[in-house]
Amino acid sequence: MDHFNSLSRDDLRKEVIKLLDIMSGGVKSKRILKSQQLRSMSTSELLTFIREHLQINQAEIRDIPLTLKEVFPFEDLIFSDYKETRKGIVRTTTYRDKSKDIHFHKYFDLFEKRGIEYYIRIITKIMNSFFEKNKNFVINDIRSDTSVKIYLKLEFRQMKDSQKEENFAVRSETKELCVGEDREEWYQHACQELMMNMENLQSRGSGWTISGINYLEMNQTMCHSPSGSSYMDLPKCINVKHCVINPKNNDDKCFMWSILAHLHPAKDHVSEIYNYTPYQNELNFGDLTFPMKIKDINKFEKMNDLVVNVVECTEKGQINPLRPSRGITADDSKVINLLYYENEEGNSHYSLIKNLDTLMNKRGEHQKKFCVRCHCSYNVNMNDKSRSNYHRHLEDCGKNKPVSHKLSKKTSVKFKNISNTQKHRYVIYADFESIIEKYQRALDNPKESWTTDVGKHIPAGFCVVVVDSYEKKYHDHWTGEYRGPLCGACNILKRKNTFIPVFFHNLKGYDSHLIISCPESTEFLKDYGIDIKNISSNTEKFISFSYHLPSESRNFYDRCEIRFLDSFSFMSSSLDKLVQNMCSDDMYITKDYYSYHNERPGDSEELEKFEIMQRKGVYPYEYMDSFKRFQETKLPNISSFFDMLNGKSCSTKDYLYAKLVWNKMNCKNLKDYAEIYMINDVLLLADVFENFRNLSLRVYELDPCWYFTSPGLAWDAMLRKTKVELEVLQDVEKYLMIEKGIRGGIVNAVKRYSKVNNKYTNTFDPSIPSNYLLYLNANNLYGWAMCQNLPTGDFQFETQSSIDILNDESLKIKDYIDYFKNLGKGCIFEVDLEYPKELHSKHNDFPLCPENVKIDKQTVKKLCNTLFDKEKYVIHYENLLQCLQLGLKIKKIHRILNFKESNWLAPYIEMNTNLRKQAKNEFEKHFFKLMNNSVFGKTMENVRERVDVRLVTDEDKIIKLASKPNYKRTIMYNKELSAVEMEKTNITLDKPIYVGFAILDLSKWLMYDFHYNVMQKKYGYQNVELCYQDTDSLIYDINTEDFYKDAEKDIDFQKYFDFSDYPKDHVLYSEENKKIVGKFKDELNGKIMTELLALKPKQYGFKTLDGEETKKSKGIKKNIVKNELSLDDYKHSLFNKTIIRKTQYTIRSVKHTIFTQCQNKVALNNSENSTEHKRYIIKDNHSTMAFGNVNIKPEVLGI
């Protein structure tokens, strides 16, 4: 501002005019001055105007910084983006680093020369300087007129091996800033959090060094601070329990009086303040003010060395964790439990809870002990034994977020959704088409990793098809027609539909963004009082969302729900593939449309159009980059149909089809062609999904329209067909124990390079030992596991006395398990296991008992096969027996959970398998496979991963939600719609996860059994090496003269394999085990694999004798892997330790705005960081050892 202070009033006017000219040219200025206003302004007013514009309009100078810098010589380092909506309720300000003064690259060598600790100290110094330069900008942008929930986010770049660069982001914890609080203190603390989080990221991935800063972002949302004040009466349901001391204070210090009531218990009149006034100076409140805010209790705890736990009470008396203390330990007698209550008028009050157990217990029920942290209950008195269980619970509880664990009121899971057997009458199918507004941007250095937006998707049109499924077959609540004989309960359940489903194919990934981001749509919903509800994976991915119309009358349309669903969640294939799997006779909706719209129904023209439109169309997505394109009167040339996303040119056949459609459908311009393409897409989608519905109704008597995803549909179909009743666990300890034992699929790159030498190859050398590479896959691995005995209920912990006997080895484990198996029961064990060192060589390739572990101090937890001893390992009894049979030893049994079991799921799996064999077409084959595979997903449902994202159009509701202690953040989608993300305060543990646990463990049992008891038994562990493994697949390197002759001569060996896909003239061809679950199939069907490269999990490739290459690289699109990577690239990366990047195009949404992005991404990377591979890499660069192997020196791991 010094430059402007020296100017005269007239010169200042000229500078302001310059500013306004620039703003009108490229910036949507927040303030526009009229000429008469400008003339009347004094010098001080002109300076104030300039100063305000330097702050307010910083957001919009991003694209013209050089022009503005010529006019305004302010700080070179910082340019900020500023967004504000909803009368300033939500503000997001972004501070971008435009400076060239910070050179991180020159510090890269410090990482290698001086170590990570020294490097972090240097980077910390640089970052502190960066934060200091930002400080005044950030602090000045923080609202001072109201309380806000606020956090900082820092996005920066990190480089690895001087080549691989990626963006990373860290954020500070969301904090509350009240009016008058020290903004600078908050900023310093938030910056420290960012630095700490950066250091954590740095240490988790060895070799990463910071290469640049993208931006610092501040998010703030208005809120009202929850606090307690003067006396108020509590709900009757709380008072009748006589376990709460409610201070009768006239001041706003109810928090202080409640604390003193705990520290100095009164004998009589416990609610009267005079009992505690003598002690009020004992507590140190420092600079804290009253009424005490929830967020200030942390400071109070530190200043007074106390542990304060706060729970909230609803009007109905429900108790939820509000602010669990971090200082909670097993000795809960030191915890001060406070009750926070807020009435309908918004007044709030703290009270002292004398006994949390009494408060939580229900009248008339057996008295329970409750966990202070998560409110889990125990049906025991706290004697020495049960206190030990409580200590163990807190150990497990501390690993999860502090949420209240609610047990379900239902006692079993069984089929109850009778209404879902009714076919939905009205179903809507829809689709959007967009233009892609291109960005003219130069691509960055191909030797670095980067992502840049190259196009923005703008909706250009939509199509809707409504299907009426009404059939006059039985009494219907819509029409009054006779339905058929139904019992009273079923008749009530089969009421009319209260929602209309609207299906988009890939709603979650595309169409939802166009709907959510549209401000006009949101404004319409707001004007008519229509609520939006959603089920989401995160703030960008909506599984479903719905519009709830007002319910002011009994009229159906006043209380209808419009439910948006994703057909891709049921049929996870492209529409093109789905249509190809259909028969012409099944496309009745498409046929009816062209019949209805034909001037002479039934003539040859109608049939010709229908014949033409039985496939998905061809559309020039990339070519349609503006609305002007729709006016073009000719079909674009074939090159305009290039598919940039898949790197695919339009075939001559497809282009001729596009020309046929243009001519036969009488297209005058591209607008006509786009409309026909879009209409036909929706018609075909309707046909596909209606066939899906009809098949589901015919086989399972369930309509998919009632469900959100295929796992929900398959789960209900299974319950309906099997009539099974699964117990809902009513003991949190049992749930937590099983939860601890859930481990997913195993993926390992074990032997990173192999090459064959056998008589079937052209390069066979008889002087070198013969070997074979064999790629095996277990037929429907999870399907096999689902056919075994699985838990159903009657879960009981074994008594400690029985466990002590087992630990003393007076009764063998096998005898114990056999005893329960004879009773139709199984067991889950929690044990300490010893992995004897003499087994390390034999088990090195495929160690038993995988676990989620940190290999060293610099990694996150990963599922690894290690040779370490196991502590408190939760394992299925079949797997434990297998471990003992293969040489592991039990050191100690901690707990045993017994249960009833049977093969209740097998009939359903077998039914679908048989139906698949009888399928008339590919569509039905895929359907029955889906209905088997989807059941497993439902058994693994993790309620902890559910998010609480609320779509809000009301400003007051945003403030109300932001005022809650579990508020996380607010994201603006458009000027009328925001997403408010909340931390969950309670979860209901009502899923039969014990089924998923059993399926996962049993599937691992089969893979281990095949490896140790089939392959190693056949060849000896020295002659069979596991090269690569991925859940249900194994790639072996076998030292033998002829694998095929080995199998031909050994009938017992053959029984483990399915050779039905071998050529019929092959010596091993047999249909005896065709498609039998659990049998192992040669993925190459007898072809000879000649070479294998497995760089790391999910990144491998191999070549067969005919020269064909198969390559995989997770995160890289299939077309790039297929067309632009060769096996030589894999080999070069492995042996030369190089990084290979490839450019690919993807679609991604940012706050529901869709962009086409160009990514230059690492496709192959032979990193020396062994923890990325989950195994220790030996110096030859292709052999590995399992961590925990006795041959690995501890200092190598840094442990």
- What is the average pLDDT across 940-955? 87
pLDDT over 60 at 599, yes or no: no
Residue 391 confidence (pLDDT)? 66
The more confidently predicted of residues 159 and 684 is: 684
Are 126 and 113 contained in the same domain? yes
Are 64 and 82 contained in the same domain? no
Residue 177 confidence (pLDDT)? 84
Are 893 and 863 contained in the same domain? yes
Alpha-carbon distance of 1177 to 1185, in angstroms, equals 7
Are 308 and 401 contained in the same domain? yes
Are 69 and 130 contained in the same domain? no
% of the chain at pLDDT higher than 90: 47
Beta strands at 450-468 and 499-504: parallel, antiparallel or unpaired = unpaired
Residue 223 confidence (pLDDT)? 83
Q: Residue 188 belongs to what H/E stretch?
A: helix 183-204
pLDDT over 80 at 201, yes or no: no
Residue 57 confidence (pLDDT)? 47
Q: Residue 1054 belongs to what H/E stretch?
A: helix 1051-1054
- What is the average pLDDT across 1172-1179? 81
Residue 400 confidence (pLDDT)? 64
Alpha-carbon distance of 349 to 254, in angstroms, equals 7
Residue 1012 confidence (pLDDT)? 97
Structure tokens at 1039: 């030292």
pLDDT over 50 at 475, yes or no: no
pLDDT over 80 at 503, yes or no: yes
Instruction: Tell me whether residue 186 is in a domain.
Output: yes
Mean pLDDT of the chain: 83
Instruction: Tell me whether residue 632 is in a domain.
Output: yes
Are 561 and 653 contained in the same domain? yes
Which amino acid, residue 481? E
Residue where the block lists tokens 């010596």: 1067
Give the end-to-end CA distance of the chain in Å, rounded to a whole number. 56
* 51-60, 642-651, 769-778, 1174-1183, range with the lowest pLDDT: 51-60
**Predicted confidence (pLDDT) per residue in 860-902, tens digit:** 678 999 999 999 999 999 999 999 999 999 999 999 999 999 9
The model's confidence at residue 41, banded by pLDDT at 50, 70 and 90, is low
Residue 770 confidence (pLDDT)? 96
The more confidently predicted of residues 978 and 486 is: 978
Residue 1170 confidence (pLDDT)? 41
**Predicted confidence (pLDDT) per residue in 104-128, tens digit:** 555 555 555 555 566 667 777 778 8
Are 146 and 295 contained in the same domain? no
The model's confidence at residue 702, banded by pLDDT at 50, 70 and 90, is very high
Are 467 and 499 contained in the same domain? yes
pLDDT over 50 at 60, yes or no: no
pLDDT over 60 at 23, yes or no: no
Residue 847 confidence (pLDDT)? 97
- What is the average pLDDT across 374-379? 68
Alpha-carbon distance of 880 to 828, in angstroms, equals 9
Residue 598 confidence (pLDDT)? 58
Residue 476 confidence (pLDDT)? 46
Residue 474 confidence (pLDDT)? 42
Residue 227 confidence (pLDDT)? 62
Residue where the block lists tokens 């993925």: 1083
Are 496 and 537 contained in the same domain? yes
pLDDT over 50 at 482, yes or no: no
The model's confidence at residue 351, banded by pLDDT at 50, 70 and 90, is very high
The model's confidence at residue 70, banded by pLDDT at 50, 70 and 90, is very low
* Domain closes at, from 40, 74, 108: 74
- What is the average pLDDT across 30-45? 52
Instruction: Tell me whether residue 967 is in a domain.
Output: no
Which amino acid, residue 992? P
- In Å, the largest CA–CA distance within the chain is 104
* Domain closes at, from 902, 935, 970: 902
The model's confidence at residue 86, banded by pLDDT at 50, 70 and 90, is very low
- Is the CA virtual torsion 791, 796, 797, 798 positive or negative? negative
pLDDT over 90 at 1054, yes or no: yes
Instruction: Tell me whether residue 284 is in a domain.
Output: yes
Instruction: Tell me whether residue 1169 is in a domain.
Output: yes
**Predicted confidence (pLDDT) per residue in 790-836, tens digit:** 999 999 999 998 999 898 875 689 999 999 999 999 999 999 999 99
Instruction: Tell me whether residue 1177 is in a domain.
Output: yes
pTM over the 0.75 mark:
yes
Residue where the block lists tokens 């058994």: 939
Give, as one character, the DSSP assignment of residue 627: G
Residue 1198 confidence (pLDDT)? 46
pLDDT over 70 at 1121, yes or no: yes
Alpha-carbon distance of 247 to 34, in angstroms, equals 60
Domain residue limits at 319:
236-407
The more confidently predicted of residues 220 and 384 is: 220
Answer for the pair 226, 342: CB distance below 8 angstroms, yes or no: yes
Instruction: Tell me whether residue 1039 is in a domain.
Output: no
Nearest to 587 by CA among 445, 482, 684: 684
Residue 880 confidence (pLDDT)? 97
pLDDT over 90 at 514, yes or no: yes
The more confidently predicted of residues 210 and 156 is: 156
pLDDT over 70 at 163, yes or no: no
- What is the average pLDDT across 250-258? 91
Structure tokens at 400: 């999860």
Total count of domains within the chain: 6
Three-point CA angle 540, 544, 546, nearest 5°:
110
How far does Cα 656 stand from its chain's mean position? 42
Are 516 and 633 contained in the same domain? yes
Residue 462 confidence (pLDDT)? 92
pLDDT over 70 at 694, yes or no: yes
pLDDT over 80 at 162, yes or no: no
Instruction: Tell me whether residue 882 is in a domain.
Output: yes
The model's confidence at residue 955, banded by pLDDT at 50, 70 and 90, is confident
The more confidently predicted of residues 107 and 1115 is: 1115
Answer for the pair 241, 358: CB distance below 8 angstroms, yes or no: yes
* Domain closes at, from 22, 52, 74: 74
Question: What separation in angstroms does the CA of 838 have from each of 157, 415, 659, 1174?
Answer: 46, 51, 71, 22
pLDDT over 60 at 55, yes or no: no
% of the chain at pLDDT higher than 70: 79
Residue 1108 confidence (pLDDT)? 94
Are 115 and 197 contained in the same domain? yes
The alpha carbon torsion through 617, 623, 628, 630 (nearest 10 deg) reads -10
The model's confidence at residue 1180, banded by pLDDT at 50, 70 and 90, is confident
Residue 945 confidence (pLDDT)? 83
* 873-887, 984-998, 1079-1093, range with the lowest pLDDT: 984-998
Give, as one character, the DSSP assignment of residue 766: T
Strands (E), 936-1076: 948-952, 967-972, 978-982, 986-989, 1024-1030, 1033-1039, 1057-1058
The model's confidence at residue 680, banded by pLDDT at 50, 70 and 90, is very high
Residue 603 confidence (pLDDT)? 60
pLDDT over 60 at 38, yes or no: no
Alpha-carbon distance of 639 to 644, in angstroms, equals 11
Are 50 and 92 contained in the same domain? no
